[in-house]
A and B are shown apart, each in its own frame.
Chain A
Amino acid sequence: MKKELQVAALENGTVIDHIPSEQVFKVVSILGIEHLKTPVTIGYSLDSKKMGKKGIVKISNKFFEEDEINRLSLIAPSVKLNIIRDYEVAEKKQVSLPDSVTGLVKCNNPKCITNNEPMPTHFSVIDKENVTLKCHYCEIKIKKEDIILL
């Protein structure tokens, strides 16, 4: 069977592939893609052999810094990035969980100082495998499924 591209190819830029469908718009928001002025293609609920349904985001003429893309590991650790130059995959990247996360995740404890003062949140990643965060301030632990992004 002829393989048909579901989304048009890029000349230069970044392809974020293997995004769980339900996380596509979170990926867009974490990377601030809605503020970019370059062409962006967002694929949602596409057929995937590996994942059943997946999402894909293609961003023209944009290359992200390592710590920017690592923020994705909190919500979609399985994503793969292809860096495209002149229609060729120049580099493949996976995301890895950072040791700490600042200003990205909301603390789930309403009595935490971070929810009551104008200040950034700060978590240390205490379990990289299962993605467990610990609030640097109130010390509560947050499991992956309870992570809420700011």
Chain B
Amino acid sequence: MNRSFVSIADYSKEEILHLVRRAEYFEQYPNQKVLEGKVCATLFFEPSTRTRLSFETAVNRLGGRVIGFSDAATTSSSKGETLKDTIKMVSNYADLIIMRHYLEGAARYASEITDVPIINAGDGANQHPSQTLLDLYSIYKTQGRLTDLTITMVGDLKYGRTVHSLLTGMSHFNPIFRFVAPEELHLPDIYRQFMDINNIRYYEYTDFSPEVINQSDILYMTRVQRERFTDLVEYEKVKNIYVLTNAMLKGSRDNLRILHPLPRVNEIAQDVDDNPKSYYFEQARNGVYARQAIICNALNLK
């Protein structure tokens, strides 16, 4: 049975809860030598230092060894080798493949051409499920639960894959969503239809007002990504619209926590960093625990 981790949509409520509890366990006991003698490949066809370091830290804390590359320019794929051939080749060496690719669907395809489990560390604009699991774990950890929470997502809701995946992952837990985005970057129709079918309550705003913040348990900020725009004039128009400042948090709930997948540019002002409600740096640390849980799950180690 292939235990690849490709898309959060493949996971049931119970499986997500299991992974979240495993992440909690690894936070308590981060150094476990369960990968002793195992080799994990990190194939980064597109550079992503943060994600790669997080995965490699997770493997190291579990006692495994890492091989791989961090930029496809130095590999045979720059000579025109197919993804299939690269995956087939690496499958001879590694017990697990962690891959990031610039093409959408690359991880799903890879999981179909090898028996070695594939962990999707991001496939273009499509999925980034380990980010989703660390977001879910961060929510669980700060709120004590995943059910019945109000999640407000701000910024680029059109291209932000972390937003789409978190929405999918949270859909099992009776959330209320509030979406704050400019007209040009609002949530795609398919996600609205998805929520309608699943009876999920949601509200949409173009104004980023304290009123919305004050009704939230989680404030999920996102960066308006320059690389997603073909028209840079359009980017310049929208990039500075949704900026969170400390003053805006005055009337917010005590349990509110501010999340951000990082890197941030200017959408969270520096003066928020000292507010105890800011959580984005701890969130990044949770990524290692979440990835330890994902790696063990893929290798069937509980």
- Contact A137 B125, beta carbon cutoff 8 Å: no
Looking at chain A's contact residues, the main secondary structure is loop
Instruction: Identify which of residues 107-122 in chain A touch chain B, using a CB-to-CB cut-off of 8 Å.
Output: 109, 111-114, 116-119
| A112 touching B82 in the complex, CB below 8 Å, given contacts A139-B126, A139-B127, A141-B190 | no
Q: By the criterion CB–CB under 8 Å, are A111 and B102 in contact? A: yes
Which residues of chain B (176-191) have a CB below 8 Å from chain A?
A: 190
CB contacts under 8 Å to A, within B102-119, are 102-106, 108-109
Say whether A28 faces chain B, with CB atoms less than 8 Å apart. no
A138 at the interface (CB under 8 A from B): yes
Are B126 and A138 closer than 8 Å at their CB atoms? yes
Q: Are A111 and B83 interface neighbours, CB within 8 A?
A: no
Q: Is the CB of A136 within 8 A of B83?
A: no
One digit per residue, 1 when the CB lies within 8 angstroms of any chain B CB and 0 when it does not, for chain A 107-150 equals 00101111011110000000000000001111111000000000
- Known A138-B126, A141-B190; judge A112-B104 contact (CB<8 A): yes
Is the CB of B124 closer than 8 A to any CB of chain A? yes
Chain A: which residue is nearest B190 at the CB level?
A141
Report whether A119 and B109 are in contact in the complex, using a CB–CB cutoff of 8 Å: yes
A86 to B171, CA, bound (A): 59
Known: A111-B124, A111-B125, A141-B190. A135 touches B82 (CB 8 A): no
Given A111-B102, A137-B104, answer yes or no on A117-B84 (Cβ-Cβ < 8 Å).
yes
Distance, CA A141 to CA B191, complexed state (A): 11
B7 at the interface (CB under 8 A from A): yes
Residues of B within 8 A of A136 (CB): 105, 108
Q: Which residues of A contact B109 (CB under 8 A)?
A: 113-114, 117, 119, 137
A139 touching B7, Cβ below 8 Å: yes
Chain B residue contacts of A141, Cβ below 8 A:
190
* Other-chain residue from A116, A118, A135, A140 in contact with B103 (beta carbon distance below 8 A): A116
How far does the alpha carbon of A113 sit from the alpha carbon of B123 in the complex, in Å? 9
| Cα-based distance from A140 to B83 in the complex (angstroms) | 21
Chain B residue at minimum C-beta to C-beta distance from A134: B190
Contact (A112, B103) CB under 8 Å given A119-B84, A137-B109: yes
Cβ contacts under 8 Å, A112 to chain B? 103-105
Closest chain-B Cβ to A135's Cβ sits at a distance in Å of: 7
Q: Are B108 and A111 in contact (CB under 8 A)?
A: no
Q: Which interface residue of B82, B102, B108, B127 has the most chain A CB atoms within 10 A?
A: B108
Contact indicator per residue, chain B 87-112, by CB within 8 Å of chain A (1) or not (0): 00000000000000111111011000
Interface residues of A in 44-101 (CB under 8 A from B): none
Contacts of B83 in A (CB 8 A): 113, 117
- Which chain B residue has the least Cβ–Cβ distance from A141? B190
- Kindly identify, within residues 123 to 145 of chain B, every residue whose CB is under 8 Å from any CB belonging to chain A: 123-127
Closest to B113 in A: A119
Provide the residues of chain B in CB contact with A135, threshold 8 Å.
105
Q: How far is the CA of A140 from the CA of B188 in the complex (A)?
A: 11
Query: Hey, which bits of chain B sit against chain A, CB under 8 A?
Result: 7, 82-84, 101-106, 108-109, 123-127, 190
Q: Can you report 15 residue pairs joining A to B where beta carbons are below 8 Å apart?
A: A111-B102, A111-B103, A114-B109, A117-B84, A119-B84, A119-B109, A137-B105, A137-B109, A138-B103, A138-B123, A138-B124, A139-B126, A139-B127, A140-B104, A141-B190
- In order of increasing CB-CB distance, the 9 nearest A-B pairs are A137-B105, A138-B104, A138-B105, A113-B105, A113-B103, A113-B106, A113-B109, A137-B108, A111-B104
Taking beta carbons and an 8 Å cutoff, which residues of A are in contact with B? 109, 111-114, 116-119, 135-141
A-B contacts besides A138-B103, A138-B123, 17 pairs, CB < 8 Å: A111-B102, A111-B124, A113-B83, A113-B105, A113-B106, A113-B109, A114-B105, A114-B109, A117-B82, A117-B83, A117-B109, A119-B84, A138-B104, A138-B105, A139-B7, A139-B105, A139-B126
